[in-house]
Structure formats: structure tokens, C-alpha cells
Amino acid sequence: MKKNLLYIISLFLLPLGMLAQIPAGYYNNAQGKTGATLKTALYNIIHTHTERTYTELWTDFQSTDKRPNGKVWDIYSDIPGGTPAYEYTFVTNQCGNYSGEGSCYNREHSFPKSWFNDATPMYTDLFHIYPTDGYVNGKRSNYPYGEVSSPSWTSTNGSKLGTNITAGYSGTVFEPIDAYKGDLARTYLYMVTCYENVVTQWHSDVLSGDTYPALSKWTLDLLLKWAKEDPVSQKEIDRNNAIYNIQHNRNPYIDHPEYIDEIWGTANAVTNISELSVSVYPNPTTRIIHVKKGVNHSMSYILYNHLGQMMSKGNLVSGTNEIDLSTFQKGLFMLIINVPDKKWTKQYKILKI
């Protein structure tokens, strides 16, 4: 019981700072949707944004990718919890020419620009452009991300280049370290969502050629795995907020990682999506939470407060259910929905204001 309580409490720590930065009502038009419909709703929310110039990115990085020590946060050289082989100073160490690792940092299109023919506004979209070591960036080239067992080259922080071992693709790939796999997975999901209107014009082995699912099966399987294994970090939250202040749009898969499964995940792989479809709204709320569920499967819920104390529980009927929070103090709650016969559990972070 103590272990479960600590787990429930820990679930609140990350979303609290996250919810505080999302503009009120920003995702209202996404409520109650799943699958391709939800992806399109998110496209309509995020695709209009302020376009940057390529030169402005150098200055933007000082807000979006600054380490706690003031140095450049380079995901291709960083060693979380350790000491990287080199660190860069903003402006002073901009590339320039490089002769090897540690020479300078440049602007890495994590979603290679050749895939979208160097077109704008993708060319300067901060969400997929990171400051990285110029030499490692060059080694990565425009290869897809993937997983490697026998690398042909390895960077100082353990990023690898080699043959992909993921089923469905046997070409050359670049594998970042585990700490940034989730970051890059959510970046790619952002790209095929924000640019849903043009993604069918892009060319890469990671793409499916349509607007949904937009990504090839091997890529989607890999990104969903990475997103689960490397959850949203404080670095991503801070970067999301910083980019919002510059571009005036957000990465929804950082704000609401549950959207990933609701669009592409296993819940959407069932024959009848409505049978496992659940929507929870409004969030934040002042009093009532509505839980809308499909048919065919029994569902129950448990509501916990931020201390891990159970506040209410019950069964959900088909249609719209109401959970009354009016007698509870303002704050963060965890709503857990269970589908026993499918061994399926979903967690929602609810903010009462």
C-alpha cells in the first residue's frame, strides 16, 4: 500500500508545473476526440504559429536549450548525471567549421530538412531544431532515428550510427542515447501533426505517405516505444514553454502525452474504437468532470487527491458520467479509469481551479 501511495503521489509532481503553463482553453477543441480526428483537431490548434528566420534560431537557443550552468544543452554530447567530454558557450562556439567532436555547435534539423525539401515554415520550426555538436550532426546526416546493435561509429556520449535492428527497416540509422529518445519521439509526432496539411508531399522511409497515421509502421512502433520508455522530462516542459513564448504554439505530446495513445496507441488498434473510447472534460474544471465512455465494456474509476488519498470511486455507464468535485479543495487530482475485462487502465491528471 505504501508503494502504491508513493507511486500515485509521484504522478502529480510532473503535471503540476505542466498544467500551470498551458493557456486556459488551449486544447478545448481536442476534447472528446480520438484517432485521426484528434490528430486533426491538434493540427488546427498548433499549425498557425510565428515563423522564425534561420538566423534568429541562434538567439532562440539561449532561451530554449540552456543548461542549468548556462551552457548549450546539446543532446548529442550530454551525459545525464555525468560529465560530458565538452560543453559549448552560446555565440562564442557557434559553427563555423569543425574538424571533430568538440569544435562547435550548429542547428540540427532532427527531422531532416531534405525530407520536406527545405520548405518553410518547417525549416525554422524550433520544435524539431536543436543545438548540437557540428561533427555529430554531420555524422547523423539525414539518416532516420533507429536502434543499432553493432555501430559503425559512436559519439562521446554514446549516440550511435549503424544498421537498424527494428523490424521493417534495415537501412542506416542514428540512435540517440536513451535519455533523449522520448524527446525525439514526441518531436516527430509533433511534426506530422503540425504539418498534417503538407506531410503527404514529404519523402522519407519514416513516412507512410498519408495524413494518418502519417508514419510508417516500423517508425511508429519505435516512436511509441521510445515515448513510453522515456517519459516527458522537466527539460521538455521548459523547452515547450520557451518555444511557446517565441513561436506561440505548443507540442501537445509534451503537454498531454496521453494523446499519443489516443491517436496511435493500442487502444485505437481494436476493431471498434468506440468500445474503449473515453474522454474526460473540462480540464481544468471548477466543479464537475464529465467522463464520456463507449459501449460494450464495463468501466470503473477511482479519484485520488494530490496526497494519494482516495476521494471517490464508482462505476461508469455508457454515455456521459459526472464526477462532482465541488466539495473538494482546489488542487490537482488523479483520475484512474479501469476496464477489467481488457486489463486496460488510463490515468488523467485533473486540475480543480
Q: What is the pLDDT along the chain (353 residues), one digit of tens a residue?
A: 343 444 444 444 444 444 447 899 999 999 989 999 999 999 999 999 999 999 999 999 999 999 999 999 999 999 999 999 999 999 999 998 999 999 999 999 999 999 999 999 999 999 999 999 999 999 999 999 999 999 999 999 999 999 999 999 999 999 999 999 999 999 999 999 999 999 999 999 999 999 999 999 999 999 999 999 999 999 999 999 999 999 999 999 999 999 999 999 854 443 333 445 678 888 899 999 988 876 666 788 999 888 778 899 999 888 889 999 999 999 999 888 887 655 566 778 899 99
Task: Please indicate, yes or no, whether residues 243 and 303 belong to a single structural domain of this protein.
Answer: no
Residue 334: the pLDDT is 86
Task: Please indicate, yes or no, whether residues 245 and 302 belong to a single structural domain of this protein.
Answer: no
Indicate the residue among 262, 283, 299 that finishes a domain: 262
Report the interhelical angle of 234-247 vs 2-21 (nearest 10°): 10
Task: Please indicate, yes or no, whether residues 225 and 204 belong to a single structural domain of this protein.
Answer: yes
Task: Please indicate, yes or no, whether residues 169 and 231 belong to a single structural domain of this protein.
Answer: yes
290 phi, psi to nearest 5 deg: -95, 130
List residues bridging with 299 in a β-sheet: 316
All three cell numbers of 19, joined, read 498544467
Residue 276: the pLDDT is 55
Task: Please indicate, yes or no, whether residues 250 and 350 belong to a single structural domain of this protein.
Answer: no
Task: Please indicate, yes or no, whether residues 4 and 57 belong to a single structural domain of this protein.
Answer: no
Task: Please indicate, yes or no, whether residues 76 and 119 belong to a single structural domain of this protein.
Answer: yes
Task: Please indicate, yes or no, whether residues 5 and 53 belong to a single structural domain of this protein.
Answer: no
Kindly state whether residue 267 falls inside one of the protein's structural domains.
no
Taking Cα atoms as reference points, which of 25, 5, 1 lies closest to residue 255? Answer: 25
Task: Please indicate, yes or no, whether residues 205 and 347 belong to a single structural domain of this protein.
Answer: no
Residue 163: the pLDDT is 98
3-state secondary structure of 261: helix
Residue 168: the pLDDT is 93
Kindly state whether residue 99 falls inside one of the protein's structural domains.
yes
Domain count within the chain: 2
Kindly state whether residue 269 falls inside one of the protein's structural domains.
no
All three cell numbers of 343, joined, read 486489463
CATH of the domain at 19: 2.60.40.3080
Kindly state whether residue 286 falls inside one of the protein's structural domains.
yes
Residue 120: the pLDDT is 97
Task: Please indicate, yes or no, whether residues 102 and 237 belong to a single structural domain of this protein.
Answer: yes
> Which string of b and e fits 324-338 if b means at least 16 CB within 10 Å?
ebeeeeeebbbbbbb
Task: Please indicate, yes or no, whether residues 201 and 332 belong to a single structural domain of this protein.
Answer: no
Task: Please indicate, yes or no, whether residues 175 and 244 belong to a single structural domain of this protein.
Answer: yes
| Domain of 50, in residue numbers | 32-262
Kindly state whether residue 281 falls inside one of the protein's structural domains.
yes
Beta strand 129-133 with 172-175 is unpaired
Task: Report the sign of the C-alpha dihedral through residues 198, 201, 206, 207, in that order.
Answer: positive
Indicate the residue among 214, 233, 262 that finishes a domain: 262
Indicate the residue among 208, 228, 262 that finishes a domain: 262
* Element (DSSP H or E) covering residue 323: strand 319-324
Kindly state whether residue 171 falls inside one of the protein's structural domains.
yes
Kindly state whether residue 17 falls inside one of the protein's structural domains.
yes
Kindly state whether residue 86 falls inside one of the protein's structural domains.
yes
How many residues belong to the chain?
A: 353
Look up cell 499519443; give the residue.
260
